[in-house]
């Protein structure tokens, strides 16, 4: 199908009002246009339930697609009892909703990596320097198989996705350790070493001092055949635009704005609204 416009939108985080306002600004028409979401559909914004319902409906119409982010995985983990709900995430209404099961079953079947067009690849946090895009796509399929399998399989894997331990990537990595490492690269990565070793504590802007030998994953010079579109790192405010990487989390939930990247020309459109109550 040929679309009038396609837009890639950064982390919604349940900021339903800003999301709907952005669609108005885009003059979005679900019969002519398509949206691609960079994950973290839910958490901390004022209405994660309405946001999740709306994105699901658009995806089922073929007018949208999404990848999964760390807050989406956390929502699944709360659903299956692998972790406890956090009050600050404001996701309790999802679990109380009549369509909760339908929403969460749909969510776990969404991809980790997607190709919005022939020139780009979309993931939530990024692709580490030691992976090619082809390898990343294969690892994404492996994680998706774990998330989309039987509920027994899902319940086995979810508790192992949470650890403060930095897993070393090596040729013999396997089992739960491998699955957790894959999930961390795709949904939690900010800083890493050139060999892919992750650092989880740094969440601020690039002006702050970084641990020795670590750099933002996108600063390691690796030839890429596609531009990596990503969200996750709110402190960047979408200011990173490199030939091989584009940041799209505008930090709406932190008092900033949503960003929409138009695939045809790379223009970024910003919402005029942010979350009613910026997070502390």
Q: How far apart are CA 251 and CA 272, in angstroms?
A: 13
Whether 163 shows a pLDDT value over 90: the answer reads no
Exposed (0-12), middle (13-18) or buried (19+): which is 252, by Cβ within 10 Å? buried
Identify whether 193 is part of a domain.
yes
Average of pLDDT values for 183-209?
94
CB atoms within 10 A of CB 260: 24
pLDDT per residue over 86-127, tens digit each?
Answer: 999 999 999 999 999 999 999 999 999 999 999 999 999 999
Question: Mapping DSSP to helix (H, G, I), strand (E, B) and coil, where does residue 148 land?
Answer: helix
Identify whether 280 is part of a domain.
no
Mean pLDDT of the chain: 95
Identify whether 155 is part of a domain.
yes
DSSP assignment string, 50-109: HHHHHHHHHHHHTSEEE---HHHHHHHHHHTTSSPPPGGG--HHHHHSTTHHHHHHHHHT
pLDDT at 279: 67
The domain tally of the chain equals: 1
Question: Mind spelling out the 3-state secondary structure of 2-33?
Answer: CCCCEEEECCCCCCHHHHHHHHHHHCCCCCCC
Whether 278 shows a pLDDT value over 90: the answer reads no
Identify whether 1 is part of a domain.
no
pLDDT at 102: 98
Q: CATH number, domain at 77?
A: 3.60.21.10
For 131, the domain range is 6-270
Residue 119 near residue 226, CB atoms below 8 Å: yes
CA 137 from chain center: how many Å?
15
User: Hey, what are 185's tokens?
Assistant: 């690269």
pLDDT per residue over 171-191, tens digit each?
Answer: 899 999 999 999 999 999 999
CB atoms within 10 A of CB 100: 15
Identify whether 279 is part of a domain.
no
Q: What is the pTM of this model?
A: 0.97
pLDDT at 280: 64
Identify whether 278 is part of a domain.
no
């Amino acid at each position: 199908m040929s679309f009038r416009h396609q837009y890639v939108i950064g982390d919604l985080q349940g900021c339903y009002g800003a999301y709907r306002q952005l669609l108005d600004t885009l003059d979005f028409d679900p019969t002519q246009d398509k949206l691609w979401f960079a994950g973290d559909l839910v958490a901390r914004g004022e209405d994660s339930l309405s946001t999740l319902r709306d994105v699901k409906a658009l995806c089922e119409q073929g007018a949208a697609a999404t990848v999964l982010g760390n807050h989406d995985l956390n929502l699944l983990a709360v659903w299956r009892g692998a972790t406890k709900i956090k009050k600050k995430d404001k996701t309790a209404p999802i679990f109380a909703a009549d369509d909760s099961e339908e929403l969460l079953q749909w969510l776990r079947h969404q991809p980790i990596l997607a190709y919005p067009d022939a020139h780009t690849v979309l993931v939530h946090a990024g692709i580490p320097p030691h992976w090619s895009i082809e390898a990343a796509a294969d690892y994404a399929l492996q994680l998706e198989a774990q998330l989309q399998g039987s509920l027994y399989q899902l319940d086995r894997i979810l508790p192992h996705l949470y650890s403060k331990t930095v897993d070393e990537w090596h040729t013999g990595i396997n089992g739960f350790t491998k699955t957790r490492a894959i999930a961390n690269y795709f949904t939690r990565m900010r800083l890493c070493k050139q060999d892919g070793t992750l650092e989880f504590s740094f969440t601020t802007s690039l002006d702050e001092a970084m641990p020795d030998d670590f750099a933002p994953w996108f600063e390691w010079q690796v030839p890429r055949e596609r531009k990596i579109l990503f969200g996750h790192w709110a402190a960047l405010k979408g200011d990173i635009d490199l030939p091989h990487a584009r940041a799209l989390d505008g930090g709406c939930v932190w008092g900033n704005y949503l960003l929409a990247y138009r695939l045809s020309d790379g223009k970024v459109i910003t919402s005029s609204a942010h979350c009613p109550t910026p997070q502390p």
